Structure 1
């Protein structure tokens, strides 16, 4: 719950009432609007990185090696910090940075606690859709 509240606080800090894209109800009588700028997309990217970090019992597979999801989050965060001038949306972050190795071109994978493995891009797109209410 603590991590969720931090995500909400981070998102609310990016909110501006004049540039509406969509409305999000956070409290019973309050409606906030997402700004039509990079702050909203940055908030989504941070939420996706946090989501990876908090996957319990899962492993991140990069270039044939397994890493903890905390290590994966650090890796994705550093890639985003290095290339964020080229990334405008959360979908671009997933497609260009979080789905494959820039060195080998090999697809990143998430292996879940139950042993199933899915492409990281698929996992992150599903989470992005959930965040956007799709």
Structure 2
């Protein structure tokens, strides 16, 4: 019986340590992944090319893992720790858009993050 309680306590403690991204960061990550999905670009993971929807699904799984481990608090941290390289092979992810050479996903996502933030700042009411 003690073993059951100890196991239960461990599970509860681990769940209590898991923390989702702060709302502003989650909004940015969701917007980035939606842009990737709707961009028409392809995503390379371990030598195979995938459509944006498949890339989004994969990266959301990685985000869930990182959140469960309380490893991300910002969109930049998500890009660095989850959306740049394969955790299995260590190879960089790539993004290939029509008529352009592939670029590392970190570069593509960081550029899109800057565009998102610039658009948000431009639409913010003047103070």
Aligned to 2:26: 42
Q: Are residues 1:114 and 2:99 paired?
A: yes
Largest Rg, 1 or 2: 2
Q: Are residues 1:92 and 2:77 paired?
A: yes
Shift of 1:115: 4.2
How do 1:14-33 and structure 2 match up within 5 A? Answer: none
TM-score for both structures, normalised by structure 2: 0.72
Deviation digits for residues 59-80 of structure 1 (CA, Å, limit 9, x no counterpart):
1111011111110000001110
Aligned to 1:65: 48
SS at 2:103 equivalent: strand
Alpha-carbon RMSD: 1.5
Structure 2 unaligned blocks of 5 or more: 1-20, 122-127
- Greater RCO between the two (CA within 8 Å, min separation 6)? 2
Higher strand share: 1
Count of aligned residue pairs for this structure pair: 97
Aligned to 1:52: 36
Structure 1 unaligned blocks of 5 or more: 1-36
Which contiguous aligned blocks of 4+ residues in structure 1 show a shift greater than 2 angstroms?
none
Aligned to 1:7: none
Aligned partners of 2:100, 2:22: CA distance in 1, in Å?
A: 36
Aligned partners of 2:33, 2:64: CA distance in 1, in Å?
A: 12
Match of 2:87 among 84, 94, 102: 102
